[in-house]
Structure 1
Amino acid sequence: MKTYFVTGTDTDAGKTFVSCALLYAAGLLGYKTLAHKPVAAGCERTEQGLRNSDATHLMAAMTEYEEYEMVNPIALEPAIAPHIAAQESGSSLSVARSAGFARGIMMARADLLLIEGAGGWRVPLNRRETLADLAKNLKQPVILVVGIKLGCINHALLTVEAIKADGLTIAGWVANQIDPEMSHYKENLATLAQLITAPLLAEIPYIQDHSWAEAAKSIPEPALRYLVDNK
C-alpha cells in the first residue's frame, strides 16, 4: 500500500479538502483507498463520542471501511492547537503513541493511504515533539497542499525547506486556490512551479461549496497513477 503524509502551508490550506479529492478520484479509478487523521482538535460531542468533521469527510471519501477510532484515534474537543487542547482535556500527545495508531491502519489492505496532519508542518504535539516528528517517524513521502493566496510563495518555500531539512521526500504538491479574487494568480502559480522541485500533482480552482467530488475532476489521472503505482 502506498502511504503519504499530507501536510499544508498553514491551517486553512485545504488539507482535508484536497485529501478527500485525491481519495475520491483514486476510488473512481478503481483503487482501494484509506485515510488516517492521527490527531484532530475541534470535535463535537455525539452519542458515539467525540467526532471531527475532517475525519468524517475523509471516511466518506475513502473506499474502504474502517471504524472511526481507526481513522481518528485521538479526538480533542477544543478547536485550538492540539497540544493545548490535550492539556485542557487532561491528556498528553506523543509521537510514539500517534505512530502506533498510524502503523495499525498501515497494516490494512488498500492501494492508497493518506495520513493527514493538523495545521502546518511544525504543529506541536508537546513541548519537545511536533507533527513533523511523526512524519519523520513514519518515514513516508509527503504531499504538500499549498493554499494559493497572498503570501503563499513564502509559506510554501519555507515548508518545502523544512520538509527537506527533516530528511523526507516530497512526492508532489497540490495548488488549492482558496482566494477567488487573488491578484496575479497565474503568476504566483508559475513562480511556485518553478521554485518547488517536486511534481505539481493538481491545480484545484476555487470551489464555492467546497465539494471534493467536484475538486476531484481537476486531478489528472496520470498524477493519481503516479501516486499509487510509482515504485
Structure 2
Amino acid sequence: MNEIKEMFSFEHVKLDVLWQSTVETLTMTGIATLFSFVFGIILGIILFQSSKSKTKASKPVYGVTSFVVNLFRAIPFIILIILLIPFTKALMGTMMGVWGAMPALIIGSSPFYARLVEIALKEVDKGVIEAAESMGANQWEIIRKVLLPEALPALISGITVTAIMLVGSTAIAGVIGAGGLGSLAYMVGFTRSQPDVTLVATIVILIIVFVIQILGDTIARAVDKR
C-alpha cells in the first residue's frame, strides 16, 4: 500500500530532469525516424523493383536485399545494440548517450520500414503503372511520379508505425545508457526505488506515442483526400 502511495506522490519527480529526458527521447526518435524514412524508401524500392523485374540480375539483388532486411528485422533490439558496439564506437566515438544509440536505432528500424514500403508499393493499382509505361515513362519516372505519390498515404502510415516502434526502442536503449525517458524510468525510477519517477516517465512516453499516432493519421488522411 505504501508503494502505491509513493507512486502517486510525485515527490521524486524533478521537472528539469524530466524535460531533459523527454528532449533526448524526442531527439533520438526524430533523427532515427528521418534516416529510417530515407533508407527504408531506398531499400523498399529495391525490393519492389527487383521482385517484379524479369532480368537475370534481379533475383540475386532481391535475394541479397531481402536477406539483409530480414536479418536485421529478426535480431532483438537489445542484442543489436550490443552487437553494434564496436561499429558504434568507431563511427560515433562513443556508445553512450543519444548519439551512441543512433546507429542501432537506424539500423534496427530501416529494414522494418523497408518492408512496409515494399508492401505499400505492391498495393498501387497496376493499371496506373501500365498507363504510365504506355506513355513512355521510364522506371525512375514511374517510381517518382506514379508509385511514390500513389502509395504516399500508406508510406505515411508506415513511418508513423516505425516512429512509434522507435519510441519503444529508445526506452530499451535508455536501459544501457542512451539517456531519454527509458533511462530515467530504469536508472532513476527502478534502481533507486522511486516508482513515481517510473510512472511519470511512462505517462510521457504514452503521450508521445499518442501524439505521433494522431499526427500520422491526420497527415495520411489529408494526403489521401488530395
User: What TM-score do the two structures reach when normalised by structure 1?
Assistant: 0.24
More strand by share: 1
More helix by share: 2
Structure with greater Cα Rg? 2
